[in-house]
Amino acid sequence: MSKQSSEETRDRLIEAAAHTLRTEGYAGTSARTIAKSAGCNSALVFYHFGGVDPLLLAALDRSSAQRMAAHREAAAQARTLEELVEAATAIYRTDLEGGHITLFTELVGAGIARPELRKEIVERAEPWIDFVEQTLDRVIGGSPLAALLPPRDLAYAAITFYLGVNLFTHLDADRTRTEALFGLAARVAPRARLLTLRLPRRRER
Amino acid sequence: MSKQSSEETRDRLIEAAAHTLRTEGYAGTSARTIAKSAGCNSALVFYHFGGVDPLLLAALDRSSAQRMAAHREAAAQARTLEELVEAATAIYRTDLEGGHITLFTELVGAGIARPELRKEIVERAEPWIDFVEQTLDRVIGGSPLAALLPPRDLAYAAITFYLGVNLFTHLDADRTRTEALFGLAARVAPRARLLTLRLPRRRER
Amino acid sequence: MSKQSSEETRDRLIEAAAHTLRTEGYAGTSARTIAKSAGCNSALVFYHFGGVDPLLLAALDRSSAQRMAAHREAAAQARTLEELVEAATAIYRTDLEGGHITLFTELVGAGIARPELRKEIVERAEPWIDFVEQTLDRVIGGSPLAALLPPRDLAYAAITFYLGVNLFTHLDADRTRTEALFGLAARVAPRARLLTLRLPRRRER
Amino acid sequence: MSKQSSEETRDRLIEAAAHTLRTEGYAGTSARTIAKSAGCNSALVFYHFGGVDPLLLAALDRSSAQRMAAHREAAAQARTLEELVEAATAIYRTDLEGGHITLFTELVGAGIARPELRKEIVERAEPWIDFVEQTLDRVIGGSPLAALLPPRDLAYAAITFYLGVNLFTHLDADRTRTEALFGLAARVAPRARLLTLRLPRRRER
DNA sequence: TATGAATGAGTTTTCATTCAT
DNA sequence: GATGAATGAAAACTCATTCAT
């Protein structure tokens, strides 16, 4: 019926995969449901991507690429830890509205139960850890704080935390709780450098 | 063939469910695989528990009850934030070795894609948030630190973080990274009260 | 818990079977659903009756016995064909309200698909054919009408018709249609004897 | 293994469904038994028809279409009520031999216990009521008999009766009884117009 | 008499995947 | 490139039935 370019079909499938994953969840996402949403035959999922999971990973990659470009720019503006927390908060809200969190979390959830997926997911987290590390290094690198909290570890902590936040946001309908976490971070960030002061002898408690 | 007490069979099924979930993941866990592992007929899963998910939740409940008892005791020993971080680190290691993290994380992962499960999982997280809050309240309640970091919010942060840690531990084979996070916490904890000092005017960066 | 007499339990099961059949239909009637409604263990269905179908037949027998007693009395009042049609109409309405039609029709429907049941059902129709035949014989026996329409055949026709009526009443929500059938019979009955007049030569149509 | 045209497979499935329903009854008719009889995979029942019941209804529709075409022609030949009864008798015998009665009655029986099926079955009875009404209207319309026995009501009575006949034929192995019913009708039909004569005063009985 | 545990066979349904066209 | 037919495996779940107690 339709003589479309390969590229266009792949594109439609990726969009449909992302959409289905976001609206139906991984459990409701199959070659058929994706294909129906894309308006094409489900065999194309295998023809173009080799399977359902590779297609979903392609959707994740597209989502990640978009976010990475946008977030890199946003993070580049931050000069202090406070600004960085502000940026992270904005990033979280953008990700949430854009459905990226849902997309990502659904795949993480699926990966938990499927070793093949697991590997792919973890690989795709590395660039983000690097990104956060580089950003932290730029902002606090060389400072006494960086000596106490090495950017690499801090990056890993941030990503781990963000993963938990994503999960909770997804599981729990109550958004105020996750928002409170960013509020907490905003209150701590400007004080973080205090952590590097000389520690007075502690009075017995 | 052999008529056993209900309790014993239920017990075997719960153990088998936990074991299957830990070794095969949620994707490999079905009434059949559980029953095979328990050495009984798969219809018993429905007879005794009404379905697969209720059985898995029963397994989670058993795991949670055991952990809650043990961890409550461990946490009760902690008098300072440092000791609390130490306790949390020990808890994490115990949970990891005991397979509790895998069990819990598999169910969280499954819950992501299944709204019915989601509800149950979130409900089962509440007692843990309460537990952490109470513990924090006992240790830092009334201090200036508690004013900056309200135990309720901190508890939520801790659980969120722990959730992220569980996930990463489960996804990523490399355990040194998660261990590093606890090391970070151990270095920060004794300095946390510095955060409450008066903030000197910041030099322009 | 309850030490009841065998008779009482059988009774409760029979009532429960009738009730379940009426409200849930044969498809929703199993040893378990009946037992639950009777408030006893489903194994008792087999202990007391040997299976689900024998129990349902027992329920049918009880229903039939009640109806036969009542209907025999009602039919005995009828002296003419008109009165007999009136009585039949009343019987239909009573059966409908009493749930007998549902009970019977559900079993007939089940019997259609199950040869073992079929036999039992047919056997249980015989006394009714006899009853109708006897009644017709009393009312029109010896008359010219009986020569044209032998009571035995007429009885079989009536039962067949009643079976069809039961079925349609059960399948079709619109009761006015079946009511119209009885209206038709009421109009024909007083004229039936006209059928026995000498047939005039027919004009070509 | 072998890729055939959709039409051919659908056809085989419909034939197999009709055959299974006729020989095994609704209780013995499942996606598996049908597919085995059709020599194909049982998933095709769902692929092509969406379920077992839709397939069975398709089989009924095919059977009905064939019968409607043939019976319409046969009924069109009848000019008098006698001829109509003859035609109906022939129709009954044809339906019986062709297995249509079994097919239809099995589905009616199944519909009794299944509300979803019920609706479909009743809908499929309407065209037959219309057909009988039209035929009666053509044959006795405008006559005094039609005033006494309105074709619409008579059609409903005929279908109800035929339903009962189908049922009894199906339940009871003894065909002579149902044959006797048609004999009865054959004797009454030529006399039916007598019903419209003026009713003489009845002697007290 | 009554119970509840247990079983095996059966059901519908969905899925990833392959393949001829 | 794209389609629709086909397949086999697997899922959750229900049922009649048996049996030790």
D112 touches C: beta carbon within 8 Å? yes
Neighbouring chains of A at 3+ CB pairs under 8 Å are B
Closest residue to E15 (CA to C1') is A30
Q: Please give the pLDDT value at position A204.
A: 52
Copy the structure tokens of residue C26. Answer: 């044969």
- Cβ of D112 within 8 Å of Cβ of C154? The answer is no
Task: Report chain A residues whose CB lies below 8 A from the CB of B156.
Answer: 177, 180-181
Task: Report chain A residues whose CB lies below 8 A from the CB of B194.
Answer: 194-195, 197, 199
Give burial (CB, 10 Å; 0-12/13-18/19+) of C129: middle
Q: What is the pTM of this model?
A: 0.91
Q: Please give the pLDDT value at position D205.
A: 46
A191 touches B: beta carbon within 8 Å? yes
State mean pLDDT over C35-54: 96
Instruction: Please indicate whether chains C and A are in contact, defined as at least 3 beta carbon pairs under 8 Å.
Output: no
Q: Please give the pLDDT value at position A202.
A: 60
Q: Percent of chain C having pLDDT more than 70? A: 96
Contacts of A191 (CB under 8 A, 6+ apart): B148, B195, B199
- Cβ of B109 within 8 Å of Cβ of A106? The answer is no
- Can you give the distance from the CA of residue C107 to the C1' of nucleotide F16 in angstroms? 18
pLDDT 10s digits, D35-74: 999 999 999 999 999 999 999 999 999 999 999 999 999 9
State mean pLDDT over D87-108: 93
**Alpha helix segments (H runs only) across chain B:** 6-24, 31-38, 43-49, 52-77, 81-98, 100-113, 115-140, 144-148, 151-171, 175-188
Copy the structure tokens of residue D180. Answer: 């006797």
Closest residue to F5 (CA to C1') is D3
Q: Please give the pLDDT value at position A2.
A: 46
Closest residue to F3 (CA to C1') is A41
pLDDT 10s digits, B141-190: 999 999 999 999 999 999 989 889 888 888 888 889 999 999 999 999 99
Q: Mean pLDDT, 10 residues at a time, over chain A (205 residues)?
A: 73 97 95 96 96 97 96 95 96 93 93 92 94 97 94 93 88 89 95 91 57
143-172 of C, contacting D, C-beta below 8 A: 148-149, 153-154, 156-157, 159-165, 167-168, 170-172
Q: How does DSSP classify residue D42?
A: T
Q: Is the pLDDT of residue C7 over 90?
A: no
Q: Please give the pLDDT value at position C1.
A: 43
Convert B8-33 to b/e letters by CB count within 10 Å (16 or more is b).
Answer: ebbebbbebbbbbbbebbbeebebeb
**Residue in B with minimal Cα distance to A149:** B184
- Can you give the distance from the CA of residue C56 to the C1' of nucleotide F11 in angstroms? 33
Q: Please give the pLDDT value at position B24.
A: 95
**How many alpha carbons fall within 13 Å on the CB side of residue C22?**
18
Q: Is the pLDDT of residue B9 over 80?
A: yes
Confidence of residue B126 (pLDDT cuts 50, 70, 90): very high
The residue among B65, B61, B64, B30 whose CA lies nearest residue B45 is B30
Contacts of D139 (CB under 8 A, 6+ apart): D78, D79, D80, D81, D84
Neighbour count for residue A125 (Cβ, 10 Å): 19
B118 touches A: beta carbon within 8 Å? yes
- Cβ of C194 within 8 Å of Cβ of D190? The answer is no
Q: Is the pLDDT of residue B121 over 80?
A: yes
Copy the structure tokens of residue C151. Answer: 């009571």
Q: Please give the pLDDT value at position C2.
A: 45
Query: Taking a C-beta distance cutoff of 8 angstroms, is the pair A89, A74 a contact?
Result: no
- Cβ of D108 within 8 Å of Cβ of C109? The answer is yes
Query: Taking a C-beta distance cutoff of 8 angstroms, is the pair C177, C168 a contact?
Result: yes
> For residues B155 and C46, what is the distance between their CA atoms, to the nearest angstrom?
57
> For residues C59 and C62, what is the distance between their CA atoms, to the nearest angstrom?
5
Q: Which residue type sits at C133?
A: E
Q: How does DSSP classify residue D30?
A: -
Residue to test with chain A: of B104, B145, B175, B195, most A Cβ within 10 A: B195
Copy the structure tokens of residue D24. Answer: 């095994």
- Can you give the distance from the CA of residue D3 to the C1' of nucleotide E21 in angstroms? 9
Copy the structure tokens of residue B148. Answer: 């900056």
